[in-house]
Chains A and B, each alone.
Chain A
Amino acid sequence: MAERSQVAAQEIGEVARGSVDVADHAGQLLAHIVPDIRKTSDLVQEIAAASKEQSAGVGQINSAVGQLNQITQQNAAAAEQLAATANDMSGHADQLSQTMRFFRI
């Protein structure tokens, strides 16, 4: 019994030593990963910031195109109104020329 216990204790001791080695190795690996994780986190933050900037840029382009659209339509309306006025003027000019025909210079 005592002998078997001694063997078991020895085995336990060996296993424990092995576990400590494994834990030590895991600790080293983790310590190694940490800077990479920190770097990844930084990169993700940069991507998020860049996406935000892109989104703002696209928003500005959208609003600029919207303004362009609005201005184009306002110009079209103004052009039509001007054309109508020009048409009126042409009518007036015709009338005036008719009226003036009465006079001899």
Chain B
Amino acid sequence: MSPVTITGAEFAKFQRFIFDAAGISMADAKKALVSGRLSKRLTLHGLQTFGEYFNLISSGKNPAEMQMAVDLLTTNETYFFRELKHFEFMRSQILAARSRPTPWRIWSAASSSGEEAYSMAMVLMDCMQTTPWEVLGTDISTRVLEGARRALYSMERGRHIPADYLRRFCRKGSGDYDGMLLVDRSLRNKVSFRQVNLNTPLPEIGKFDMIFLRNVMIYFNEQTKREVVARVLATLKPGGYFCIGHSESLNDITTTVNMVAPSIYRKPN
């Protein structure tokens, strides 16, 4: 079986497709990535060229395959307690709000397979007293959201969970589930997931005390970054906090929030 190569013209079509669908900008150097991630779909559908596959997903007759292409072309790298500094900051904020009457809400805006949202829930479960709280996780990829709802992960992904949290909030798999961990039901009940495309007007999801939008903007061009950040920040309460990835910056993107620490911003009251 010889691998099918993707031509420049075919690649340009997929570049356009993933930009329109998810706002993701792919440089010409990502040719190998596109062909690597989609070639299995060609084999599955018995197609000879990437052009044929493009016609299949863009015809509008096969929305499931189109979503599959979006799922495959988005990158879902994440793990529990990634970029720990944000969780430590979150903890200090929770301690300050732990017994207020109004609910405390946090949004994992690109939750991927849910590790970030459950990490938030662990900190909340640990630190909140009487304040009601909730976690929302959203992502564009339906495939990863299914995984998020299942809440079943390999131990490898949970390497950074503090030992105390691991004992209190996770169940260790055995038999077929050897080497896996399941997030406890008490946490799962407090975390909801739904599909949201940050590149289109947002559905009604309410206002948040804190929002994480980490390692998402790295896939967008400047214009898309500005639009997405504006949309996301509209749901942040005045005085609320906004965390982005440590390799990202809001320089030239927005001036509506003030930096309080590297990658942590606050919306003025």
Chain A contact residues: helix, strand, loop or mixed:
helix
Interface 0/1 of B156-183, CB less than 8 Å to A: 0000000000000000000000000000
- Report the minimum CB–CB distance from B111 to chain A (whole Å): 15
**Which residues of A are found within 8 Å of B217, using beta-carbon distances?**
73
Are A74 and B251 neighbours in the complex by a CB distance under 8 Å?
no
Count A-side interface residues using an 8 Å CB cutoff. 13
Are B252 and A84 neighbours in the complex by a CB distance under 8 Å?
no
**Which residues of A are found within 8 Å of B245, using beta-carbon distances?**
76
- Report the minimum CB–CB distance from A78 to chain B (whole Å): 8
Are A83 and B77 neighbours in the complex by a CB distance under 8 Å?
yes
* Other-chain residue from B30, B218, B248, B252 in contact with A66 (beta carbon distance below 8 A): B252
* A69 CA / B251 CA spacing, docked (Å): 9
With A81-B33, A85-B36 as known contacts, state yes or no: A74 contacts B218, CB within 8 Å. Answer: yes
* A66 CA / B217 CA spacing, docked (Å): 15
Are A77 and B252 neighbours in the complex by a CB distance under 8 Å?
no
- Report the minimum CB–CB distance from A68 to chain B (whole Å): 10
Are A80 and B249 neighbours in the complex by a CB distance under 8 Å?
no
* A53 CA / B188 CA spacing, docked (Å): 60
> Is B19 close to A, CB under 8 A?
no
Chain B contact residues: helix, strand, loop or mixed:
loop
Are A77 and B218 neighbours in the complex by a CB distance under 8 Å?
yes
* Other-chain residue from A80, A83, A85 in contact with B218 (beta carbon distance below 8 A): A80
Interface centre among A66, A77, A81, A83 (most CB of B within 10 A): A77
- Report the minimum CB–CB distance from B164 to chain A (whole Å): 27
Are B249 and A69 neighbours in the complex by a CB distance under 8 Å?
yes
**Which residues of B are found within 8 Å of A69, using beta-carbon distances?**
249, 251
Interface 0/1 of B138-161, CB less than 8 Å to A: 000000000000000000000000
Are A80 and B251 neighbours in the complex by a CB distance under 8 Å?
no
**Which residues of B are found within 8 Å of A76, using beta-carbon distances?**
215, 218, 245, 247-248
**Which residues of B are found within 8 Å of A77, using beta-carbon distances?**
75, 218-219
Are B75 and A81 neighbours in the complex by a CB distance under 8 Å?
yes
Interface 0/1 of B65-100, CB less than 8 Å to A: 000000000011100000000000000000000000
**Which residues of A are found within 8 Å of B247, using beta-carbon distances?**
72-73, 75-76
Interface 0/1 of A61-105, CB less than 8 Å to B: 000001001001111110011011100000000000000000000
Are A80 and B252 neighbours in the complex by a CB distance under 8 Å?
no
Q: Which 10 A-B pairs have the closest CB atoms?
A: A76-B247, A80-B77, A77-B218, A73-B218, A76-B218, A83-B77, A84-B75, A80-B75, A81-B75, A72-B247
Beyond A73-B247, A80-B218, 6 additional contacts (C-beta under 8 Å) are A73-B217, A76-B218, A76-B248, A77-B75, A81-B33, A84-B76
